[in-house]
Structure 1
Amino acid sequence: MKIAIITFSDFNTNYGSMLQAFSLKNYLESIGNSVEFIRYREFNTDLNDGVPITVRMKNSIKKEALQIYAWLKKGDIEKTKYNFGQFVEKYLPHTELLTSSEEMKRKLKRYDCYICGSDQIWNFSCLGGFRKPYFLDFAPENALKISYAASMGEYVIDEKYKEEVSILLDRLDYISVREKESVDQISKLTKKEVVDVVDPVFLTSEKEWSKMIPNIDTNGEYGICYFVRRSKLGKRLIKEALKYYKIPIYNLSDNMIYINGTSTKYISAGPLEFVALIKNAKFAIGSSFHLAAIATIFNTPVLIAGMSSNRSRVCDLFSIVDNIDNYITEDIQIEDCIKRIADQNIVKSKLNEKIVLSKEYLDNALMTEKK
């Protein structure tokens, strides 16, 4: 079967986006399909439309500050872009760049099945607006249409979009999401069954990941940190970990977030190097769901600094592996968390059961014959 996937797999240097796309492709190919990613980006015509002048000025100042910061860190940024670009070209076969549903309807008629997911493709705040292609609005009526582990994070669909979203959901043949909370929200907008499944990175086993990642000589024990945005709580966790374990902590954070006391030796690492560094780390600290996911695969102790944007998906994962105390909030005793993580066991029996069910769900969906 010829399958097209639309997800976040381009125009960013986010490890989670790349690895979930890579793992979904690998699984689909392992069961006999051919896969291509839809290279999609829709550009806003006027980001300042309706924005108050005071907010515009603040955003302008912030943009200029970021440009100066980027210039100062130009070497690391360019190396990161290169490593991610090489990964995309080698592992994520893709279409030409498409920028609208109309263009996609004309040019993407050659597939038997279309899949949207995973990552936060149904989080309109994250996307900068309502992006219909992430609901497969362009896919032909007679083609199989599946959402796999579509994610919304903490986003709640605005009332003004619900009717249109409902119509788009009803066009899908199978609907699955990543967070349990999303099941309730999406189920209210469609009569079709909505199930929660594992993130695509779990479709690749620990053994399979180990075969694909490179060997990295890190010269002794180390920890790693990975933040997708700045976190005062995260800095406190890092400071305490450095004091207690007295080993290097390699910083892999997005957007060149530099943290005092950490090493930037691997900050421009490619996606598979990221996995290798997590696998062999004594512990991992950060704010990313995919950091938690990859660490869980390799039984690497991980602490996640709680943020308003990561609660549902991280807590869903940690609850299923009896690890919920490793979602850290401001009121938790940080020193105790740091001391106990190195001796922690991750209970994966429930997770393994869910992985099996998720694969069965996807396998059964792909066997559906469309007329």
Structure 2
Amino acid sequence: MAQIDNQPTVAVVTLHNSPNYGSCLQTYATQKVLSDMGAVPSIVDYYRADAIPENETDRALNGQVAKKMPIFKIPGVKALARIPVSRMVKRRAAPLNAFRHSKLNLTSRPYYSIEELEKDPPRADIYCTGSDQVWNSLWNKGFEKAFYLTFAPEGAKRIAYAASIGKSSLEDWEIKPMREALSKYSHISVREAEAAELLDSIGIHGAVPVIDPTLMLAKDDWSVLHSDDVPHEPYILIYQLNRNHEFDEYARKLSEKLGLPLYRIAYGVNERRAGVHTIVCPSVEQFVSLFMQAEYVVTDSFHGTAFSMNLSKKFVSISPGRFSGRIMNLLEMTGETGQYLQDYRDFSVVDNPINYEHVQQVFAAKRAETQAFLHTAIND
């Protein structure tokens, strides 16, 4: 791997504290990639308003799942639910927070608003927008200025590494502030080719599509995050982010077809299903090891799909509904669109041969392209 000159410090701002394993692991991978190249990365410990720990219970009580539950429309129910929901939120956050504080080089202080960042920005040679859906105004509920590095000192070097817009079009209102902010970047890379096209359409030219940071680390790199607390029998792993009865039924029938037990990674006890071994809020090391040891994986997650492919697993990828384009981009890039389930009656998907020799060749080539981008972006 080509080394970066002079060990520059790089302040990375990304969705490192979203309450899911994918966000946590892409941040870890970003940090390791930059460090392995000779840079000195730090992760800006920035919290969106709804990600501030004190606000997470309110977010859960007012989120999409709660809105779909008629019981929460009854006066007083939310107040009664606050204590158990708060406990659930804390349990979900605990393993992710433990990993962040032990494995990530966080800035010396947290930032709870863009005003705090602009008043006292972290010092660095380079400021970097990291991966995940940092430029998705739907996901971020608006234009999140911190992810556009508006806090960086005037004249500071700004780059983006594997940033994602996560949707197929931009709202009229966001085009101007996006163009103004990104015009200050010297180098931009994005996670989807579609994002590069969107940026080009608003006058931000030359964005380079690169692979997700989690794919920059090979199996041996991930094996460092090891846990023995995994099943010692062959099993089907379920990693499901979106409530979907058809998904549940498909996994159950697949278990019957293959004669293998189901193990589900869950964020809460409410995700338990009859006949399924449910592992609630595993440690990050256990999460990685569950993928490592699985015989099959069934997932509607981008990072679930990426991990399955990176670790050469048999898998089925199911549409999550919105934001599914990045999963299809990954499957198209590797020539494995046959693993994307089109019909819940189709169980032949698991029998499709996956050409992992070709997949790993694609990943190796994409890693080299990404390293070349980063080397240029940081050294220029």
Range into which the TM-score falls when normalised by the shorter chain: 0.7 to 0.9
| Alignment partners' CA distance in 1, 2:31 and 2:248 | 35
Taking structure 1 as reference, are residues 6 and 279 closer, same or farther at Cα in structure 2, changes over 3 Å only? same
Letter in structure 2 aligned against 1:90: S
**Farther-moved stretch of structure 1 (21-30 vs 228-237):** 228-237
**Farther-moved stretch of structure 1 (184-193 vs 17-26):** 184-193
Corresponding residue number in structure 2 for 1:86: 98
| Alignment partners' CA distance in 2, 1:24 and 1:15 | 14
Identity of aligned residues (%): 22
Corresponding residue number in structure 2 for 1:40: 46
Taking structure 1 as reference, are residues 85 and 56 closer, same or farther at Cα in structure 2, changes over 3 Å only? closer
Determine which of 334, 352, 365 is the counterpart of 2:346. 334
Letter in structure 2 aligned against 1:267: V
Listed one character per residue, the Cα deviations across residues 168-219 of structure 1 (whole Å, up to 9, x for unaligned) are 1101111111111111111112343111100001121112112332334512
Taking structure 1 as reference, are residues 155 and 232 closer, same or farther at Cα in structure 2, changes over 3 Å only? farther
Give how far 1:327 is off.
Answer: 1.4
Taking structure 1 as reference, are residues 77 and 245 closer, same or farther at Cα in structure 2, changes over 3 Å only? farther
Q: Which runs of 5+ in 1 are unaligned?
A: 48-54
Corresponding residue number in structure 2 for 1:2: 9
Letter in structure 1 aligned against 2:25: L
1:362 correspondence with 2:374 = yes
| Alignment partners' CA distance in 2, 1:90 and 1:41 | 18
Determine which of 125, 148, 155 is the counterpart of 1:142. 155
| Alignment partners' CA distance in 2, 1:250 and 1:66 | 33
| Alignment partners' CA distance in 1, 2:192 and 2:118 | 30
Secondary structure at the aligned position of 1:124 is classed as coil
8 Å CA contact retained: 1:175, 1:192? no
Determine which of 314, 322, 325 is the counterpart of 1:312. 325
Give how far 1:79 is off.
Answer: 4.1
* 1:38-187 alignment runs, 5 A limit: 38-43=44-49, 61=73, 68=81, 71=84, 74=87, 78-95=90-107, 96-154=109-167, 156-187=169-200
Give how far 1:64 is off.
Answer: 5.0
8 Å CA contact retained: 1:80, 1:270? no
Taking structure 1 as reference, are residues 60 and 299 closer, same or farther at Cα in structure 2, changes over 3 Å only? same
Taking structure 1 as reference, are residues 57 and 136 closer, same or farther at Cα in structure 2, changes over 3 Å only? same
Listed one character per residue, the Cα deviations across residues 118-163 of structure 1 (whole Å, up to 9, x for unaligned) are 1111111111211111111111233221111111222532101111
Taking structure 1 as reference, are residues 154 and 59 closer, same or farther at Cα in structure 2, changes over 3 Å only? farther
| Alignment partners' CA distance in 2, 1:359 and 1:196 | 12
Letter in structure 2 aligned against 1:38: V
Question: What is the TM-score with the length of structure 1 in the denominator?
Answer: 0.87
8 Å CA contact retained: 2:137, 2:144? yes
Corresponding residue number in structure 1 for 2:335: 322
| Alignment partners' CA distance in 1, 2:262 and 2:215 | 26
**Farther-moved stretch of structure 1 (15-24 vs 252-261):** 252-261
| Alignment partners' CA distance in 2, 1:59 and 1:161 | 36
Taking structure 1 as reference, are residues 42 and 297 closer, same or farther at Cα in structure 2, changes over 3 Å only? closer
1:199 correspondence with 2:209 = no
| Alignment partners' CA distance in 1, 2:34 and 2:246 | 39
Taking structure 1 as reference, are residues 286 and 192 closer, same or farther at Cα in structure 2, changes over 3 Å only? same
Taking structure 1 as reference, are residues 135 and 306 closer, same or farther at Cα in structure 2, changes over 3 Å only? same
| Alignment partners' CA distance in 1, 2:96 and 2:330 | 26
Letter in structure 1 aligned against 2:13: I
Listed one character per residue, the Cα deviations across residues 201-247 of structure 1 (whole Å, up to 9, x for unaligned) are 11211121123323345121111111112123311321221111222
* 1:162-311 alignment runs, 5 A limit: 162-256=175-269, 257-264=271-278, 266-311=279-324
Aligned residues: 355
Listed one character per residue, the Cα deviations across residues 265-284 of structure 1 (whole Å, up to 9, x for unaligned) are x3221222211110110011
| Alignment partners' CA distance in 2, 1:57 and 1:210 | 40
8 Å CA contact retained: 2:188, 2:206? yes
**Farther-moved stretch of structure 1 (187-196 vs 21-30):** 187-196
Taking structure 1 as reference, are residues 56 and 262 closer, same or farther at Cα in structure 2, changes over 3 Å only? closer
Question: What is the TM-score with the length of structure 2 in the denominator?
Answer: 0.85
| Alignment partners' CA distance in 2, 1:255 and 1:316 | 30
| Alignment partners' CA distance in 2, 1:57 and 1:231 | 15
Give how far 1:77 is off.
Answer: 5.6
1:345 correspondence with 2:351 = no
Corresponding residue number in structure 1 for 2:30: 24
Secondary structure at the aligned position of 1:36 is classed as strand
| Alignment partners' CA distance in 1, 2:287 and 2:79 | 25
| Alignment partners' CA distance in 2, 1:17 and 1:245 | 31
| Alignment partners' CA distance in 2, 1:122 and 1:165 | 9
